[in-house]
Amino acid sequence: MNIETFKYDNRIVRAFAIATVVWGIVGMLVGLLAAVELFFPGANLNFQFITFGRIRPLHTNAVIFAFVGNGMFMGIYYSLQRLCKARMFSDFLSWFNFWGWQLIIVAAAVTLPLGFTTSKEYAELEWPIKVAIAVVWVAFAVNLFGTIVKRREKHMYVAIWFFISTAITITVLHVTNSMTMPAGLFKSYSMYAGVQDALVQWWYGHNAVAFFLTTPYLGLMYYFLPKAAGRPVFSYRLSIIHFWALVFLYIWAGPHHLLYTALPDWAQSLGMVFSLMLIAPSWGGMLNGLLTLRGAWDKVRQDPVLKFMVAAVTAYGMSTLEGPLMSIKTVNSLSHYTDWTIAHAHGGALGWNGFLTFSMLYYLFPRLYKTQLWSTKLANYHFWIGMLGIIFYIVPIYVAGITEGLMWKQFNKDGFLQYPNFLESIVQVVPMFRLRAIGGTLYLVGAFLMAYNLYRTAKAGQFEPDTEAQAPALEKTSEAPDGKYAFHRLLEGKPMFFTVLAIVAILVGGMVEIIPMFLIQANVPTIASVKPYTPLEVLGRDIYIREGCLGCHSQMIRPFRSETERYGDYSKAGEYVYDHPFLWGSERKGPDLAREGGRYPNAWHFNHMDNPRATSPGSIMPQYSWLLTQQMDREALPARLAALRRVGVPYPAGFENGPAQKDLDAQAAKVVADLKLGSVTCAPDKEIVALIAYLQRLGTDIKSAPVTTAAK
């Protein structure tokens, strides 16, 4: 037997580990600022770049892609080498992956506060950054598969299957959801419109949670938990079933984000049923993780690594029970658009992803630096402070969410809405927002303690850049140093056959759901009175997107009496055919705006944007006074209208060269004249004029002629 000696690359693991800690703290800090702005709207100091609407996507992107993303790469680069008994395929690709990813994060941190956003949740970054993400991700995938191909271990452990499913699925999701038409360097419009855009986005959004926050971390759980416990996983058979069932079922569940919306009912039901079925593999996985510790629970008392892991796996179990329950349509009718969703997301993020990342960091630093953890006691404090942080964060937000849901639905004995003013529900839950910020602060303090502990650990030890290892060479690898058989092995190796099966299993759900949605294009009932937005409204809509208004305002009235009483007729699929991208939103910190047009005079909107509390005492909306002074971007209009025409909006040819400008001037003059009637003086070229025009248009098409005709 030919024993080979080789070296594991620890430098890349350390780089990702440091990035994980740094970006984790940054992401949590931004989250804390966002949390404070919810009960103290002046916390942005009237500085547009840190208003809630702009930093909310910054927070979600930082936590998902910067904190968890770097944590994922850290864990994969460490475990994959050891599971394959091989150094990473290419050091160049490893570092390309690292620096490319950090540059993308920096680009996101700059562009999102500037308002460059596509508005699609967890996919907000504009098209040049999306291209960069695809390139870096492919580099990672090549490195991953290259390492698997040159491995010395014949069998592929289940963790690697999870990594493979992550690499493949994220590629498919990212490419499909990123189909946009550029209208300048930092502006683009989704190729899809309305209902289709919503389905593709939430097929992506849901599966980004599944294949970015869950599958790679499950792979890491299956590696690091047995390592930390010093015993094999409870049942390898169960882990096989966990993997296949999970990757097969997950992809179908996306429509549960769109229950009771204008999405066709069959797609909603499919999403709900598959979500419920997800409980089985998820809990199988959780139990498999926890039972790995059978007979070793005394270690959990001693070892902070295991403490964090047990809490993380338990949080995974809680989140994956709660998620399916929230997918039941009746539960969803209460939970959707409320803070319940935020609580659910943070149970997963803080508990599952956060704690598992912390456990990996506590596991890795002493090993990378060939020393002991500087202070186990401090790590234990971190555990308990983090745990308290999660509880103080989540519990108030559950209370807030359920309170909101119940208040929105409550009728009095005469059959009228008990709380007709939306603001009443927000004022009611503001104390919960304060408590949530305390929870977030505790969690952040814990992260700082960890950073200090890891820093002292690193200082005390000696970094080992490469770890020497030995393993027998796999047959054929040694016979063909020129890689002649590499491809052959790729095909004949049984695990690779399973990889192909995994691709099929993952894609089938998406195909069954998405293909009919594209066929539906010819079947969606068109509404004759629904017309494309005017040039001024297009600019206004772009401002709405730039400011992240959809972070707090939905544009989708569900078919409940409580909603139609409050907002007007429920939303129809045909109303959104020119919405590139769709702006349905997923959260209401303010009222739905789908039928905002004509509800208030123009002057009201002007004053409301200048100071929301002047028109709505107690409002938590930020001031948007810069809209009153900044000039609208007229120069961008031709490119934007042309891009919209290319994605299917029927603007006449040449409209953008002249007629559009005249149209814009005429409509702006009307808005300004109307403002004057309300004692407001405003120049017609200010952004507020465009935004008012857009808001006054919302939902009015169907009000004027509510006749729908089913297309042939």
Partner 1 sequence: MEEKIICSMNGVAIYGIISICIFVAFFTGMLVWAFTKKASYLDKMGGLPLDSGEINSSANKTSNPK
Residues at the interface with partner 1 (CB under 8 A):
5, 8, 79, 82-83, 85, 152-153, 155, 157-159, 222-223, 226-227, 230-233, 235-237, 240-241, 244-245, 248, 252, 262, 264-266, 270, 302-304, 363, 366-367, 370-377, 467-471, 505, 508, 512, 516, 519-520, 523-525, 572-573, 708, 710-711
Give the H/E segment covering residue 4. Answer: strand 3-9
**C-beta of 304: minimal distance to partner 1 in Å?**
8
In the complex with partner 1, the residue whose CB is nearer, 233 or 550, is 233
Indicate the DSSP class of residue 233: -
**Residue 178 or 555 having the CB closest to partner 1:** 555
Backbone angles phi, psi at 182, to 5 degrees: -65, 145
Whole-number Å distance between alpha carbons of 643 and 193? 13
Each residue of 500-509: b (16+ CB within 10 Å) or e?
eebbebbeeb
CB contact at 8 A, 549 and 694: no
- In the bound state with partner 1, the residue whose beta carbon lies nearer, of 439 and 493, is 493
Give the tokens for residue 467. 């770890």
Closer residue to partner 1, CB minimum distance, 39 or 157? 157
CA distance linking residue 687 with residue 691, whole number of Å: 6
What is the C-alpha to C-alpha distance for residues 59 and 526, in angstroms, rounded to an integer?
A: 38
- Residue 499 CA to residue 144 CA, distance in Å, equals 13
- Residues 435/344, Cβ–Cβ less than 8 Å: no
Cβ at position 338, least distance to partner 1 in Å: 23
- Say what the alpha-carbon torsion angle 74, 80, 83, 86 is, to the nearest 10 degrees: -120
Return phi, psi of residue 630, to 5°. Answer: -80, 145
Closer residue to partner 1, CB minimum distance, 39 or 223: 223
Contacts of 464 (CB under 8 A, 6+ apart): 10, 368, 369, 370
Give the whole-angstrom CA distance, residue 24 versus residue 596.
38
Q: Which is nearer to partner 1, 516 or 601 (CB)?
A: 516
The answer to whether the bond into 581 is cis (omega within 30° of 0) is yes
As a whole number of angstroms, the distance between CA 305 and CA 302 comes to 9
Q: What is the smallest separation between the CB atom of 372 and partner 1, expressed in angstroms?
A: 4
> In this complex, which beta carbon is closest to partner 1, that of residue 151 or of residue 589?
151
Least Å distance between CB 556 and partner 1? 13
CB of 107 to partner 1, least distance (A): 36
State the Cα–Cα distance between residues 500 and 506, nearest whole angstrom: 10
What is the amino acid identity at position 98? F
Nearer to partner 1, 131 or 511 (CB): 511
The DSSP H or E segment spanning 633 is none
Tokens 């998620």 correspond to 323
Q: At its nearest, how many Å lie between partner 1 and the CB of residue 211?
A: 18
Name the minimum Å distance from CB 221 to partner 1.
11
Closer of 115 and 281 to partner 1 (Cβ): 281
- Please, are residues 181 and 562 in contact by the beta-carbon 8 Å criterion? no
Closest by Cα among 221, 178, 186 to 75: 221
Number of Cβ atoms within 10 Å of the Cβ of 482? 6
CA distance 216 to 221: 9
Report helix, strand and coil shares of the chain as percent, to nearest 5: 70, 5, 30
- Shortest separation between residue 633's beta carbon and partner 1, angstroms: 37
Rounded to an integer, what is the distance from CA 83 to the centroid of its chain?
Answer: 30
Q: 249 or 621, CB closer to partner 1?
A: 249
From residue 6, give the alpha-carbon distance in Å to each of 2, 81, 470, 485. Answer: 13, 11, 6, 21
Among residues 295 and 618, whose Cβ is nearest to partner 1? 295
Shortest reach from residue 550's CB to partner 1, in Å: 23
Q: Which is nearer to partner 1, 262 or 647 (CB)?
A: 262
Which is closer to partner 1, CB of 158 or CB of 311?
158
Structure tokens at 458: 């690193």
Q: How far is CA 186 from CA 102, 110, 572, 654, 685, in A?
A: 19, 12, 31, 23, 22
Q: Token digits for 546?
A: 């730039």
What are the phi and psi torsion angles at 404 (to 5°)? -60, -50
Least CB distance to partner 1 at residue 189 (A): 25
CB 294 → partner 1: shortest distance, Å? 13
> Residues 513, 254: contact at Cβ < 8 Å?
yes
Reported in sequence order, the residue ranges of 2-77 that DSSP labels E, i.e. its strands, are 3-9
Least separation, in Å, of the C-beta of 508 and partner 1?
6
How near is the Cβ of 277 to partner 1 at its closest, in Å?
9
Judged by beta carbon, residue 242 or residue 436, the one nearer partner 1 is 242
Q: How far apart are CB 307 and partner 1 at their closest, in Å?
A: 11
Instruction: Decide: 394 and 343 in contact? Cβ < 8 Å.
Output: yes
Least distance between partner 1 and beta carbon 133 (Å): 30
204/234 with CB nearer partner 1: 234
Q: Which is nearer to partner 1, 572 or 686 (CB)?
A: 572
Least distance to partner 1, CB of residue 439, Å: 29
Q: Considering beta carbons, is residue 352 or 374 the nearer one to partner 1? A: 374
Least distance in angstroms from the C-beta of 75 to partner 1:
12
List Cα–Cα distances, 17 to 33, 76, 143, 338, 392, in angstroms. Answer: 25, 11, 18, 35, 27
Question: Least distance to partner 1 from the beta carbon of 250, Å?
Answer: 13
**Is 429:338 a contact under the CB 8 Å cutoff?**
no
Give the whole-angstrom CA distance, residue 274 versus residue 349: 22
Q: φ and ψ at 239, to 5 degrees? A: -65, -35
Residue 62 in tokens:
């930082």
Using the minimum distance from each CB to partner 1, give the nearer residue, 65 or 570. 570
What token pair was written down for 372?
């002991």
